[in-house]
Structure 1
Amino acid sequence: MKLKSLLLVGGALLTGPAASAGGYQVTLAGQKNNGMGGVGVGLSLDQAAMFYNPGALAMVRDRGVQLGVNGTLARNSFVAEGSSTQRELRNSVVTPFNLYVGFGPEEGKFRAGIAVYTPFGSKLQYADGWEGRTSLTDIDLKSIYVQPTFSYAITDQLSVGAGLMILAYGAVNLQRDIALPDSYGHIELDGKAKNKLGYNAGVFFKPSEKLSVGVSYRSKIDAQVEDGDVTFTNIPDSFKPRFEATKFSATLPLPATTSIGIGVMPNEKLTIGFDVNFVEWSAYRALTFEFDRQINGQTTSTSKRDYEDALTFRLGGQYRLTDGLTVRAGGAYDDSPVRDGFVTPETPDANRVSLTAGASYAFGKFGVDASVQYVKIDKRTQTQQDLLNNGTTDRIAGTYKTNIVIPGIGLNYNF
């Protein structure tokens, strides 16, 4: 039994199948944006600009607080190569959230704020006894970013901003079965990520009342788990000397993203946005685990990833029907960074199309935002020959299908 196949499950470190973006990226940072296909880089909608483009925050006239939460309801299935049996994942719901507080002088040139959001988080529970049980059975992961942000309007048309991204909390629990001659054992990896720093910066330019343009950059952060716990169960006494590890460490790149956005306002009621995101997934070449003791004679495990850089295209708009009611719609196309023959059970990714809708109702200083997304991920098949050709036989051949529905709700208060 090779060590790299034993610990393929580790590829889900702070990841899992992303709810609304390729690879293991999640972009559910603002309820208004969620209803508009995820656009926001070239717009100054509300305090969620801290995530999409800190440069636009200075152009948000209202000071306020907003809190939002989403539920990701995924339907995943798998059919192994040479089989007709479809394996369904056990149902699980993940609830990424966001909190923004924006403040500053009412007529001043600057805005500051604090953002708290969950850019990575998922839960997968494959069917009992499924064909890939020795690659993965369960994932449960959580992450929380905190981002203090400052934005300044250089002129009435041009503003800049930046935020310090802090990986404040990250936790991961990964489980899989171990094939033994006459039975299956079980391994569980459980660890917390170190606090790490990155940054988010942007520029926003509004040459006229009908046009705005934005550029933003979110830096790469290397998520590191050190001193994580390794636990083995159902291992017969005769095999226990081969499974001695009690601790593990690993590093996963959370890639940099460059975004360009355009906003068009044909009239005071209609707003249209278009974004392009470029994600530097090529930073993810391999995943290496180090253990304090040997597992089957080895203390290091490396699994190939070889991700490719990828683009996402987003288009959306909103229309103010009345002084209180605004409706939204949009869509997105996301190019998967996962190459053929490199698909893993923890990230059964493929190119995806998203359709979104949303609405807001404001009454006085209070408001309610609602959104819903439907994400269709292309069917993804890899054969055993693909795995042999790429040297990725530490994963399973077959076909994955995934569809996701993501409802969301948010509350906001302007002061």
Structure 2
Amino acid sequence: MAASSGAQASGFQVGLTGQKNVGMGGTGTGLYLDQASQFYNPGAFAFAPTGFQVGGNMAIPRISFRPDAADQGQRNLQNTNVFPFSGFIGFGPKEGKWRLGAGVYTPFGSEVHYQPGWEGRYALTDINLRSVFVQATAAYAITPQVSVGAGLVMLAMGSVDLQRDIPLQAQGSTTPAHAQLTGNADHKLGYNAGILFKPSEKLSLGISYRSAIDAHVGSGDITLTNLPASARSNFSATSFDVTLPLPDVYSVGLGIRPNDKLTLAFDANLVGWSRYQSLDFTYAGGVLGGAATSSSKREYQDALAFRVGAQYKVTDNFTLRAGTFYDMSCVRDGFVTPETPDADRLGLTASFTYAFGQRFGLDASFLFEDFMKRSQTQGDLISNGTTDRVAGTYKTTISVPGVGLYMKF
């Protein structure tokens, strides 16, 4: 689950897994902080401490839209706070070579609610995409310097709720007709894998890969309200079929420990959004808007992200972290949609850990993400054949506090 087009990741990715990692700019490929290594790099999980952790975030978006017309003022969205979460558990001998673990997290999602009557209401009024993934992980340290790991990943729960107005009105009504498409995604399997190399206690390098998964809704429901009787033959569909391609992710990372108190981390991610070229619906039981199918151009491009983080152990019980990242948009110019008003974004992060003795502790994090202004004109939309969306300028910021608890075995 996410606010706007996601926090800390391009498109509708959600990069809020593990409070320690969030506080270090979303790094985690080239080092091991806790059981969340299962997500960032299963190979690094072989060296991670055993235990259990759970955490949650509150994403607080502030989104505005200014229409392309010069005499139009700014529109502010009905911002909705949402709550991504994650939890992990890891088992294995304390000084052993192997680890087994499991996790649950929310890596993709989007939630946006536009005000009634806004300029793009015939493209979108509301969207709510939710996903919950579960993962089982195994990792093994081949030598004290090299470890490998892999995870079986399943889309355990996914749902979609898309709504838009229709430019028709029932007789005597001033409210336009409205369409709502809702459905649940099929269970799908994927995987992630990684390797960590530690040439010394002061340096570690990691590589990881997360496979693509297609989120498929095979029999979603269509609900139409306030539709004129004369138009019902053109809106007779009762269900829909749609597939949303989710990307694969390549990551490389570096961890540096100049001394026992300080840890530095550097990550780079390549997200394979280019597999998402169009959003295609097939309608059953009739037609929607006079057609049995519909297709909307997306033409996403692969996106890069660069992350830097630092951790400093102030005392045996208190640790501070800070980080930053720059995430490039996967949405091309002239292809921005109300569902994903994506843009290049800069993020600043911080977190701390307070340990209550040797086994228990509290993690708290904060992320602020600033999206660059993203504009497109009506001419851009006509040129690209994307007039199913709206011309104008989007501007987004997101604040995300988070908290987590952990227990070491």
Same fold per TM (> 0.5)? yes
1:281 aligned onto 2:273: yes
Report the CA distance between 1:106 and its aligned residue. Answer: 2.1
Structure-1 residue corresponding to 2:378 = 384
Report the CA distance between 1:124 and its aligned residue. Answer: 1.3
Report the CA distance between 1:297 and its aligned residue. Answer: 2.3
Report the CA distance between 1:342 and its aligned residue. Answer: 0.1
Question: Distance in 1 between the 2:167 and 2:377 partners?
Answer: 21
1:301-312 equivalent positions in 2, closer than 5 A: 301-312=294-305
Structure-1 residue corresponding to 2:398 = 404
1:168 aligned onto 2:160: no
Report the CA distance between 1:226 and its aligned residue. Answer: 0.8
1:251 aligned onto 2:243: yes
1:110 aligned onto 2:98: yes
Amino acid at match of 1:231: T
- Per mean C-alpha deviation after superposition, the further-off stretch among 394-403 and 123-132 is 123-132
Question: Distance in 2 between the 1:287 and 1:189 partners?
Answer: 14
Kindly indicate whether the alpha-carbon contact (under 8 Å) linking 2:204 and 2:256 is maintained by their aligned counterparts in 1: yes
Report the CA distance between 1:167 and its aligned residue. Answer: 0.2
Question: Distance in 2 between the 1:362 and 1:175 partners?
Answer: 46
1:332-411 equivalent positions in 2, closer than 5 A: 332-364=325-357, 365-411=359-405
Change (3 A) 1:169 1:51: same
TM-score (norm 2): 0.96
Question: Distance in 2 between the 1:141 and 1:400 partners?
Answer: 20
Kindly indicate whether the alpha-carbon contact (under 8 Å) linking 1:36 and 1:315 is maintained by their aligned counterparts in 2: yes
1:5-404 equivalent positions in 2, closer than 5 A: 17-60=5-48, 62-82=49-69, 83-180=71-168, 184-292=176-284, 293-364=286-357, 365-404=359-398
Kindly indicate whether the alpha-carbon contact (under 8 Å) linking 2:2 and 2:83 is maintained by their aligned counterparts in 1: no
Amino acid at match of 1:100: F
Kindly indicate whether the alpha-carbon contact (under 8 Å) linking 1:94 and 1:122 is maintained by their aligned counterparts in 2: no
* Gaps in structure 1 of 5+ consecutive residues: 1-12
- Count the aligned residue pairs: 402
Kindly indicate whether the alpha-carbon contact (under 8 Å) linking 1:227 and 1:248 is maintained by their aligned counterparts in 2: yes
Kindly indicate whether the alpha-carbon contact (under 8 Å) linking 2:3 and 2:81 is maintained by their aligned counterparts in 1: no
- Per mean C-alpha deviation after superposition, the further-off stretch among 98-107 and 403-412 is 98-107
Change (3 A) 1:15 1:191: farther
Question: Distance in 1 between the 2:216 and 2:79 partners?
Answer: 29
Report the CA distance between 1:281 and its aligned residue. Answer: 1.0
Kindly indicate whether the alpha-carbon contact (under 8 Å) linking 2:3 and 2:111 is maintained by their aligned counterparts in 1: no
DSSP 3-state at the match of 1:226: strand
Kindly indicate whether the alpha-carbon contact (under 8 Å) linking 2:4 and 2:61 is maintained by their aligned counterparts in 1: no
Question: Distance in 2 between the 1:109 and 1:350 partners?
Answer: 43
TM-score (norm 1): 0.95
Amino acid at match of 1:43: L
Kindly indicate whether the alpha-carbon contact (under 8 Å) linking 2:2 and 2:82 is maintained by their aligned counterparts in 1: no
Kindly indicate whether the alpha-carbon contact (under 8 Å) linking 2:12 and 2:110 is maintained by their aligned counterparts in 1: no
Question: Distance in 2 between the 1:42 and 1:226 partners?
Answer: 39
Report the CA distance between 1:16 and its aligned residue. Answer: 5.4
* Gaps in structure 2 of 5+ consecutive residues: none
Structure-2 residue corresponding to 1:5 = none
Question: Distance in 2 between the 1:14 and 1:357 partners?
Answer: 19
Deviation per CA, 1:341-395: give whole Å up to 9, x if none: 0000010011000000110000121010011010000000000000011010110
Report the CA distance between 1:84 and its aligned residue. Answer: 2.9
Deviation per CA, 1:154-202: give whole Å up to 9, x if none: 0001000000010000011111111126751000000000000000000
Amino acid at match of 1:194: D
Question: Distance in 2 between the 1:47 and 1:297 partners?
Answer: 52
Amino acid at match of 1:396: V
Kindly indicate whether the alpha-carbon contact (under 8 Å) linking 1:14 and 1:172 is maintained by their aligned counterparts in 2: no
Q: Kindly report the root-mean-square deviation, in angstroms, between the aligned alpha carbons of the 2 structures.
A: 1.3
Change (3 A) 1:15 1:368: closer
Amino acid at match of 2:340: T
Amino acid at match of 1:319: Y
Question: Distance in 2 between the 1:73 and 1:194 partners?
Answer: 29
